[in-house]
Structure 1
């Protein structure tokens, strides 16, 4: 018999209070998808409606990546009345053969292994929205049930319960489950037909009770994706019949691409036609690459970054800017948006200076002036972009700023300096709008400064050189404005200090009829007069009566 060396839990708790018994036994290692279920917010942002929608985006984006590669042209998104969601595509289908390292089928690897997929530079996707290899596996981990079917010669099927593969004997997430089942082969499919179907039930143990899918948000995302991938048809079918409104189906397909998207987003009257600025650039980065022996070796690779921008200026004042990386929206911007805004402001300033539409004394316009009334869609495509987090809201690839700035600057300058009649007139209108925005901004700031200056003058104390009178009776008091200190000395000897006040000023002051209010308020002599007379009007019980005079 061996002695029991375990420590009672009460003893551990007592020791932990003073930190003396913190050892490796207190550390917890989460394996596989356990980490996702333990900390879902790290992968999908939150467990409310926003996180529920993010799970759907992950599955849809996998299908869209097939469309980006030219392998898919039709996607169906179905909201079933039992609370499940299904995404179908006619792409190549998830690989069903055995992955040599794990000994698992490709479907099981994609659905159960974090950071596994065909988007790590292996040549399967030149550009994609899914990059971290966690999208499908995260959705699987956070689903009470997930069914996947792949058409590749025959229909291959596999089901999961909270990330564990197996077989459900009945329909629905609460059906009896056998965890011993693997990938199953079904009936044959017509030759040439391939695709993937994923249907899942979100796990209500993870998501909040009031979390729900928004049909309106889904329509917006489907419409946006159809704009970004010309020729792709996305069908959204709602079979839930919520609140008795009935079932619905919407189809989205746009062959005009982001030019049509820009027109759709713009709400004001156009100042110029939609401009399409396209180009590309290359950059180098060092990334770990898997060699033949399975080792990750740091290797310097050359990347290509494609830039495609659609923009147009309108008569309005608001700026509408949508940015995307491999069709993934980046609502919080990133390096590609920084490069775009930098190029717009710099190029417009250069052309304004060369065309002498800005006076020499005027400052350069700022970014907000150039972007006023602008509607733009900024898209970049590259392999393995660096995002800040799994939610992919901000692009972090530093080279994107330089490449986007160069492409936009070159293409926009060509438009703004064009000698063609129509383009020249439109460019002139755009430049005049930017100048007008800058001058309006400056005038508004000057007006605000003037108001602040005026308020400061009204609330400040009386000028130090004012020779005030003793009387508080405004009706009897008088103010004499004299020229300089010498005249002040003479006037003091002649005045009646009981009711006569004296204010010296320096010679001839500003001609306020020809000057702006701002310049007048900046003038020290005008400011002194305003202080004295304004104080008398605002507080007659403590000041003098405004009256004017001149010393001889």
Structure 2
């Protein structure tokens, strides 16, 4: 959908595709093809290059912000581990082009570490993270999380590398899974008595920094601005994956688990 929207909002767009030794090109004017796909020469390798000119009749200005683009490309690098992105600004008159590369070998773990660096010391040093493919929701989920001494909660959710500011099924599933894993661990260690209720999702968020990213074959969005994610299969599948992985991590890291779970229970009993 993204390229279609870009094309419709551009006064001009050119698409160039390198495939099977041939370089193909096509031009569009305000979303309408002005030339057919044409073979314009030989090519090595494969790939696609898109060039577009924002339509000033729509936007009023065509000035692009380097800072805004840099922030978005940085985010894409975090969400797609191993992907390298370069932002090059050639608008400097008579000067060298400004270049900024982006790559995050740790993926979403690196993003959690970056967000945590802005708020204080972590409760446990390791960023917990995992990635799982699940055919039942026709996609995969990647999660990274860590608790810090801050009282603030920072949970960012994404669907197909696009921010979902209204959350949705994947974020709800994440919270369900965390609450279930922490409650189960606390009961096994007798940190919760039989009279204590299960921990709720809203009780595990203080000091929590997390990134929840799903990549789905057929995402279902909710809201006019597509700011939230739907899909009946997503919430239980994400919850299951988080519960299992976080539960295993808590079992394998008893000292760090005691600090995390103990703090959550103390805050829950005060509330």
Q: Is the TM value for this pair above 0.5?
A: yes
Given candidates 184, 192, 195, the residue that maps to 2:38 is: 184
Write the deviation string for residues 437-478 of structure 1: whole angstroms up to 9, x where unpaired.
2244x2xxxxxxxxxxxxxxxxxxxxxxxxxxxxxxxxxxxx
Asked whether the 8 Å contact 1:278–1:411 carries over to 2, the reply is no
Structure 1: distance between partners of 2:251 and 2:197: 21
In the alignment, which residue of structure 2 is the partner of 1:411?
A: 245
Task: Give the C-alpha shift of residue 380 in structure 1.
Answer: 2.1
Given candidates 147, 167, 177, the residue that maps to 1:313 is: 147
In the alignment, which residue of structure 1 is the partner of 2:90?
A: 239
Given candidates 166, 191, 197, the residue that maps to 1:332 is: 166
Structure 2: distance between partners of 1:245 and 1:356: 66
5+ unaligned residues in a row in structure 2: which ranges? none
Gap change, CA 1:353 and 1:142, over 3 Å in 2? same
Given candidates 253, 261, 269, the residue that maps to 1:431 is: 261
Write the deviation string for residues 379-421 of structure 1: whole angstroms up to 9, x where unpaired.
2233112123685421111111001111111222222233xxx
Structure 2: distance between partners of 1:414 and 1:151: 45
Given candidates 2, 16, 22, the residue that maps to 1:154 is: 22
Task: Give the C-alpha shift of residue 235 in structure 1.
Answer: 0.3
Write the deviation string for residues 179-238 of structure 1: whole angstroms up to 9, x where unpaired.
xx4333323223xx222221111112222x267533222112111111222221100012
Aligned residue for 1:417, secondary structure, equals: helix
2:138 matched to 1:250? no
Give the TM-score normalised by structure 1. 0.45
5 Å matches for 1:153-232? 153-166=21-34, 181-190=35-44, 193-207=45-59, 209=60, 212-232=63-83
Query: More strand per residue: 1 or 2?
Result: 2
Pairwise CA RMSD: 2.6
In the alignment, which residue of structure 2 is the partner of 1:139?
A: 6
Structure 2: distance between partners of 1:351 and 1:318: 23
In the alignment, which residue of structure 2 is the partner of 1:56?
A: none
Asked whether the 8 Å contact 1:235–1:252 carries over to 2, the reply is yes
Task: Give the C-alpha shift of residue 279 in structure 1.
Answer: 3.5
In the alignment, which residue of structure 2 is the partner of 1:59?
A: none
Task: Give the C-alpha shift of residue 370 in structure 1.
Answer: 1.0
Matched residues, number = 267
Given candidates 256, 276, 281, the residue that maps to 2:129 is: 276
**Higher RCO (CA 8 Å, separation ≥ 6 residues):** 2
In the alignment, which residue of structure 2 is the partner of 1:26?
A: none
Structure 2: distance between partners of 1:223 and 1:410: 30
Gap change, CA 1:261 and 1:382, over 3 Å in 2? same
Task: Give the C-alpha shift of residue 338 in structure 1.
Answer: 0.4
Gap change, CA 1:390 and 1:146, over 3 Å in 2? farther
Give the TM-score normalised by structure 2. 0.86
